[in-house]
Structure 1
């Protein structure tokens, strides 16, 4: 049995006491000890003494209070096993008190330090050997704990009592040896604190004498010698400043100490004072230099170098001697080099950062090198811990260094290269293509001034090659890929020649060959990728990028397995991925991604052979979903997989809890600094997620509102991000005008179009390159500016939500707000997955209606029929499976007796392609269609319809001041001129000012920004590959959906946008159908209260007829939303009646002929010899 008093001795360390290598290793070591202790109660005490203290030290360093609590629980168990008269209780009580002291140093909670003191007192009073030579230990511990409480809370009584206890312990201990050194130093530091508080000379002398005693002792502990000299120098600094500190770098040296004080005391007094201060400084320098000669740890040595640099700077201020300033500078540079050398583990990163910051701040050094080194360290810290603030801090330092560096500075190139690396990391984290462009621009600039293939040259080529490949991931441009591949091959050659960054070069080149394999599925490419990646891993075994390399290597083996079906490749893939999962640190920013990849692998290929169970997968995925340091997109992937596994097991409540947490992460995918095109690229993980989440919510017994809320969170993400930013601030301006001004400033900067602020007019117009974002950025649109504005906006929004009455500022509608909006007419949201659900929202309640005949499979079948021209069949199906059941619940069984009821439809998913408003059995008489029961409108989201109804959608402009902008593009459309002339005539007769801008983008955008009514007649374009590039065809190109999204007209709230063109409400991109990216939605988001558009192709003459009828109605009945909807409804009924008459005549004339297919709608087919009359050309471009 180990000596129970061993804690009072200076004992050598053992292998079992060494700190674990990582948080994961610490947790594993603790678990092993706990398992052993649970099986061997008779050895529990030995377990405590052997291992727990070292794990506690590691847990304290990593701020892991949970592990400390586990250790404390084990010690409590040990106390329960020990008899009350067992001398070992004293050691356990002392160790338990040390646990709470360690926890207090992390938590700073008063309860922890109080528990610590209580336990130390218990240990002291439990000792049966009152005259024991080791009794000092308990009293000494009480004194040190009192000092910790004093440092935290500043009670002088704790300071005085600590001195009393430490002196008492000193009197009981032996007169020599290392134990006495520990006691004397603790007492000396306590006297320093007391002197800093009291300014009493006797306290200064007591501190000095106590510390000097250690210096005079023989034999002398060199470990303590250096530290005591350092403490003495701190005491001298305290004497010169009379301020509370024991570390000179904790506060800057005040200039008042070196100013001439001749006015108050005369020149002779000032000289004596200066001589006294100089003597103190010289003594400090002597003591610090002496301490530096003694062995110490790297970071305590750094701390002393820092203090020495600061002290020489202080001497320079006293003497004005240039040699003192240069000495300070030189020492600071040595400290920087020392801090940055070698590999820094994650627990020392913060310490290294703080050391360099102290050196720079204390020495007031302004050279670019210091910004470069500290910025570089912040980037390393970001790579390891994933905190965005570290990346932004590092970037700010690099920018500051770049401003200081001259054009000929040797460090300018490296500053530019590291700046480009920051942009690459931003792109990887957030997906902003502007960062890729900025990175390439910076790397190309550095390439122009690059002088040699040194570290910065290799890094430059690696960065440039990676940037081109990152851009290729978006553009799929062969040129980008080829440039990236060639550049990385050159980087590899340069790295080999310089013997620098070879593992990085190998890893990047492996990734490029993997991309080459994915393009053509050629086996040599993936073989080369594996070869390069294996070599990179071996060379860079300690690289901070180790885990990413292992995960990539696993993926490469899987790619090869696809081609070879070789089980050894599959096993290699599993082995590499398992290494990551088992060894990756707990706070690694990619932990969630690796965990979900591992579980996905085992789901596909099985994990029984390695003993992996479904429970193991659920545990990993639960941790991944809740892993704060990981990026939202990684946690969302984990959440989706977790929910899916729970649903397979029928654990609906657990699945709902997983999806609830997952959906809460969705808004984080699209920060406001991203372009719409970037947002479109990053939302792929949530396609269909909202639909599934709503089903799970209902199966878990949640209310229809909770299901609807999940749907709202997970669809229309791009529109929602814009709508949230454009929220009404009128109430905020009244209550808190300054805060509103701050919000508006950041919002307006982020909401500035990516296009130039003044698009070219037709006079100097030129065709645009494909896509709006290929044009130059507007002022202030550099990604750095947008990042800063986004951070300010988020801080402002949080501040606003902390105010009474603004808790839901910018958030979606509550249940009561939805019900209030339904007072103007029911709102019906249709959700489709394996089966359909209608959520019917009325003022009294929100209910769910099951639609058993509606499914994704059925929708696909009828979409095909609709495209082939079988419109009747499709409309009858919509009536039978969706509309009629909903109307039955609402009580709309017949046509209205007087006023038409109104329904707002919110279709989701693929259902947005279908014309719900036209559902019915139109050839079977009155009241068998929706047109005969209610007026229909559509909304892209609940938020949109609630905001519209709350903000007075039924108001209308004064006709005498209203402006109508009419844009017509005739080209091949014969009816456009007649339509434009007719609409112009009617608007003029209403007293409106009519604008007829030329059909050029600059002119049209200018008209949009000043009109109340916008009417477009011409061709529409639906882009099947990129909905954001769909748009209205003008003379100089396409007015795209993305451009309209950016046209913020919400402050003006224009009334009507009439898009008389084909497919303005059409979405053909399957993966983005949940986003509802079409021109009607774009006009709504831009700010129009009412938008009229089309779901598919439409004939030229039909557009003319409908437009003229509607404007005649508006002239007679007004421009309110209610009036326009009713007018449009009545016109559709009239057109339907005309069509029915023609169709019946047609069928009668064909009654004796066999028909292989039904008669298609005349407005949705190509010209046909069998048409009753030629409806003219369609307004459609694809």
Structure 2
């Protein structure tokens, strides 16, 4: 240390003696910056890091663009900013780092000896950004750059092992993201190779053993083979024994071994393993270098889980209090990622709920919901957002219940739900928001918003289709930069008078306005309470559903393959009747039918509340006999769709109806009534003065036809992907039309009238972790821009589809394609089908 201080003073003296225009000044400044950076690396003193950055910036300001030493200056500045990001977690520092690394690599000849180092630096920077944003493209770019670096490092080179290890880290993260076992095996293979080629006693041996242990532990978590976990613990302990006491990454190593002991406790029940876990995890928290370190929330969460587990075993109150303290500290840690801060929320809310401390449960829920927008920035692809939402699934159902138990208003409960449900669709809605008021009063800001929005509202595959690494990297960075610029623009707009609620969750008055055509009923379920949150045009009320029970819901949803009248009767008794009675809808209306919009949450989203009732009684004890029902995924989605409503009829001279029928679909049963359905609808459309378009039933042709239609009707098979709802699809010839395709289709400039999906399960989401995201075909067509969408929850009878469609369209035709005619026509069609079903059953 003393030697570095002496060197710094000597360099400073030399710099001060050299005139500003002297040719050696840049060399001396760069050397001085390098010495300050070395001092920072040894001591961790941030002031030295800041000085090194200033000196490197001064060097670059003096060097001509074509100077041969410029790449080295860019490299040093990029590394310094990357270290600054790792110290404080400020994304702007990492953005600067990536920019400098790119610039350095761009002007480095392919055969330059520093080419490898610069590829490594850029790969590491992309990996750092992935850890914060969870954007898969950043991770892919990190792996690609590191593989390029390894490919040009000679065998036997001292740096080869560390770069192979870095590739292993990338593959392990990819496994965590996608769950593909070959990625984990590839990671372990890279780790083992790094260990094999590293000499005994080498300074990097500790980190290589650590990563090999991480791979083995991850494999245990997938295979549950205790031998993998035992090997991981052995490698962790060996790695820790080689780690110096003041080593900067020691807290992360302590957390890894603590988590492994915790895993082994869960496997064996040996309390000694839990005690070791807590000890190591406490050391990890205690040795984290700064309160604002970005890893701190993750360390606090792990420690909290250890204390929580011990409380469950011993019921010692002190352990419960320690667990709550760690969870609260993690949630409130501003420098950590939103992902790491949200994860403790469910545990904390549950612990407060168990103790009936509702005020604290509400505070935890409110804080967690405020972080949800930070979890899914606009730059992320929807597939990446899905993975993040899955990680916090279960949190949403707690929020409204916690708010109500804490005595908060109905509006506050709905506000929290709106923040946490339909996050992916909500994020996309922002990109397609109506900004006419902004354009009128602040045209320059509106132009800025449109510019950044349009950069983001393009198909992801178009952004990342390049096979050229440099171009692909630039496209990724441009999308990321556009997202940050859009967020800054939105904040600027929200600071303007009268625009403070721009793109915000709906206000109470906006919710009431949305109920002007009929009440909106949100059903929430939790093990300690179930409620109907009812939005009326003049008030918001909470109706406690005392007969509704989460265990019953789970039992019914587990047997949806064979739904029957018992399910519909149970839905009537527990949900529909109490709600309709409270709204005064107690009898069959004589003339003017009331409307109601249902928004079920959690597992209730899979159940047909609109069909609830005792249909065999021939009484008014059914939803169908009291109201006309519609569904929505959230209040904000309903408000957005209403903005597209107009009472104008389709212009007859330009109206087009697109018809797609799939009587035969590869791998599916034939649908013999599809030709009849298509034929009858073609005649109906012509009588409505609509031009009929029948595209070839392939993805590209159908999407092309959607861009210029007013009605789209599909008769065929729908398919729900149980693992990735964005891949659920209408089945066509060749490539299918998926939810993801529709999310990338923007028809809002035309707002077509109706998409009628005469297919099975077009409103279904099977993935439990994404049930509140409503990523199904009905929502996708609505998001694309259709004013109205008709679809199904379950399998439907082929012949019944023909009858339902013709009855619905006849009514729409008679009512001149008014907005109300869609739900009215469908209601009449279902009522007619039910009457036939009752008659047929009575005759048997």
Q: TM-score band (shorter)?
A: over 0.9
Secondary structure in structure 2 of the residue aligned to 1:484: helix
- 2:617 corresponds to: 924
- 1:801 corresponds to: 494
Out of 163, 171, 176, which is 1:473 matched to?
176
Out of 948, 960, 965, which is 2:658 matched to?
965
Instruction: Write out aligned runs for 1:67-86 (5 A).
Output: none
Kindly indicate whether the alpha-carbon contact (under 8 Å) linking 2:307 and 2:322 is maintained by their aligned counterparts in 1.
no
- What is the distance in 2 between the residues matched to 1:730 and 1:559? 55
- What is the distance in 2 between the residues matched to 1:750 and 1:828? 33
- What is the distance in 1 between the residues matched to 2:331 and 2:81? 27
- 2:430 corresponds to: 724
Structure with more contact order per residue of length (Cα contacts < 8 Å, sep ≥ 6) = 2
- 2:543 corresponds to: 849
Kindly indicate whether the alpha-carbon contact (under 8 Å) linking 2:338 and 2:371 is maintained by their aligned counterparts in 1.
yes
Q: Which runs of 5+ in 2 are unaligned?
A: 665-669
- 2:42 corresponds to: 343
Instruction: Write out aligned runs for 1:363-762 (5 A).
Output: 363-364=62-63, 366-451=69-154, 453-454=156-157, 456-496=159-199, 499=202, 501-541=204-244, 542-584=246-288, 585-606=290-311, 612-756=318-462
Secondary structure in structure 1 of the residue aligned to 2:789: strand
Kindly indicate whether the alpha-carbon contact (under 8 Å) linking 2:308 and 2:319 is maintained by their aligned counterparts in 1.
no
Instruction: Write out aligned runs for 1:874-913 (5 A).
Output: 874-913=567-606
Counterparts in 2 of 1:774 and 1:1133: CA distance versus 1, 3 Å: farther
Residue 940 (str. 1) matches residue 645 (str. 2): no
- What is the distance in 2 between the residues matched to 1:643 and 1:497? 48
Out of 336, 340, 356, which is 2:55 matched to?
356
- 1:817 corresponds to: 510
Kindly indicate whether the alpha-carbon contact (under 8 Å) linking 1:413 and 1:456 is maintained by their aligned counterparts in 2.
no
Question: Per-residue CA shift, 1:231-285, capped at 9, x if unaligned?
Answer: xxxxxxxxxxxxxxxxxxxxxxxxxxxxxxxxxxxxxxxxxxxxxxxxxxxxxxx
Counterparts in 2 of 1:885 and 1:776: CA distance versus 1, 3 Å: farther
Secondary structure in structure 1 of the residue aligned to 2:533: strand
Counterparts in 2 of 1:781 and 1:860: CA distance versus 1, 3 Å: farther
Kindly indicate whether the alpha-carbon contact (under 8 Å) linking 2:661 and 2:674 is maintained by their aligned counterparts in 1.
yes
Secondary structure in structure 2 of the residue aligned to 1:994: strand
Secondary structure in structure 2 of the residue aligned to 1:831: strand
Kindly indicate whether the alpha-carbon contact (under 8 Å) linking 1:966 and 1:1016 is maintained by their aligned counterparts in 2.
yes
- What is the distance in 1 between the residues matched to 2:404 and 2:271? 43
Question: How far is 1:893 from its partner?
Answer: 1.4
Kindly indicate whether the alpha-carbon contact (under 8 Å) linking 1:306 and 1:355 is maintained by their aligned counterparts in 2.
no
- What is the distance in 2 between the residues matched to 1:664 and 1:840? 23
Question: How far is 1:1016 from its partner?
Answer: 1.1
Question: How far is 1:1067 from its partner?
Answer: 1.8
Secondary structure in structure 2 of the residue aligned to 1:511: helix
- 2:774 corresponds to: 1076
Secondary structure in structure 1 of the residue aligned to 2:343: helix
- What is the distance in 2 between the residues matched to 1:703 and 1:874? 32
Counterparts in 2 of 1:549 and 1:773: CA distance versus 1, 3 Å: farther
- What is the distance in 1 between the residues matched to 2:193 and 2:515? 65
Secondary structure in structure 2 of the residue aligned to 1:932: coil
- 1:1001 corresponds to: 699
- 2:553 corresponds to: 859
- What is the distance in 1 between the residues matched to 2:177 and 2:508? 40
Counterparts in 2 of 1:615 and 1:372: CA distance versus 1, 3 Å: same
Counterparts in 2 of 1:717 and 1:622: CA distance versus 1, 3 Å: same
Question: Per-residue CA shift, 1:153-200, capped at 9, x if unaligned?
Answer: xxxxxxxxxxxxxxxxxxxxxxxxxxxxxxxxxxxxxxxxxxxxxxxx
Counterparts in 2 of 1:559 and 1:649: CA distance versus 1, 3 Å: closer
- What is the distance in 1 between the residues matched to 2:231 and 2:498? 62
- What is the distance in 1 between the residues matched to 2:557 and 2:739? 24
Larger radius of gyration: 1
- What is the distance in 2 between the residues matched to 1:798 and 1:1097? 45
Kindly indicate whether the alpha-carbon contact (under 8 Å) linking 1:465 and 1:488 is maintained by their aligned counterparts in 2.
yes
- 2:667 corresponds to: none
Kindly indicate whether the alpha-carbon contact (under 8 Å) linking 1:966 and 1:1014 is maintained by their aligned counterparts in 2.
yes
Question: How far is 1:1045 from its partner?
Answer: 1.8
Question: Per-residue CA shift, 1:547-579, capped at 9, x if unaligned?
Answer: 111101111222333445444433322211111
Question: How far is 1:361 from its partner?
Answer: 4.3
- What is the distance in 2 between the residues matched to 1:423 and 1:480? 19
Kindly indicate whether the alpha-carbon contact (under 8 Å) linking 1:918 and 1:931 is maintained by their aligned counterparts in 2.
yes
Counterparts in 2 of 1:747 and 1:497: CA distance versus 1, 3 Å: farther
Out of 710, 732, 738, which is 1:1040 matched to?
738
Kindly indicate whether the alpha-carbon contact (under 8 Å) linking 1:725 and 1:810 is maintained by their aligned counterparts in 2.
no
Question: Per-residue CA shift, 1:1146-1176, capped at 9, x if unaligned?
Answer: 2xxxxxxxxxxxxxxxxxxxxxxxxxxxxxx
Secondary structure in structure 2 of the residue aligned to 1:496: coil
Question: How far is 1:350 from its partner?
Answer: 4.1
- What is the distance in 2 between the residues matched to 1:1093 and 1:745? 35
Secondary structure in structure 2 of the residue aligned to 1:394: helix
Kindly indicate whether the alpha-carbon contact (under 8 Å) linking 2:26 and 2:59 is maintained by their aligned counterparts in 1.
no
Question: Per-residue CA shift, 1:1113-1143, capped at 9, x if unaligned?
Answer: 2222122321111111111111111111111
Question: How far is 1:598 from its partner?
Answer: 1.2
- What is the distance in 2 between the residues matched to 1:1013 and 1:526? 58
Instruction: Write out aligned runs for 1:1056-1067 (5 A).
Output: 1056-1067=754-765
Aligned residues: 828
CA-based RMSD: 2.7
Question: Per-residue CA shift, 1:408-432, capped at 9, x if unaligned?
Answer: 2111111112211122222222221
Question: How far is 1:924 from its partner?
Answer: 1.1
Kindly indicate whether the alpha-carbon contact (under 8 Å) linking 2:126 and 2:138 is maintained by their aligned counterparts in 1.
yes
- What is the distance in 1 between the residues matched to 2:223 and 2:2? 58
Secondary structure in structure 2 of the residue aligned to 1:811: coil
Question: How far is 1:307 from its partner?
Answer: 7.6
Question: How far is 1:636 from its partner?
Answer: 1.5
Counterparts in 2 of 1:439 and 1:358: CA distance versus 1, 3 Å: closer
Kindly indicate whether the alpha-carbon contact (under 8 Å) linking 2:410 and 2:533 is maintained by their aligned counterparts in 1.
yes
Secondary structure in structure 1 of the residue aligned to 2:460: coil
Counterparts in 2 of 1:647 and 1:481: CA distance versus 1, 3 Å: closer
Instruction: Write out aligned runs for 1:1122-1161 (5 A).
Output: 1122-1146=820-844
Q: TM-score, normalization: structure 2?
A: 0.93
Secondary structure in structure 2 of the residue aligned to 1:671: coil
Residue 839 (str. 1) matches residue 545 (str. 2): no
Secondary structure in structure 1 of the residue aligned to 2:616: coil
Question: How far is 1:755 from its partner?
Answer: 3.2
Question: Per-residue CA shift, 1:499-556, capped at 9, x if unaligned?
Answer: 4533322222221121222232333322322232223233333333221111011112
Question: How far is 1:957 from its partner?
Answer: 2.4
Q: TM-score, normalization: structure 1?
A: 0.67
Residue 983 (str. 1) matches residue 681 (str. 2): yes
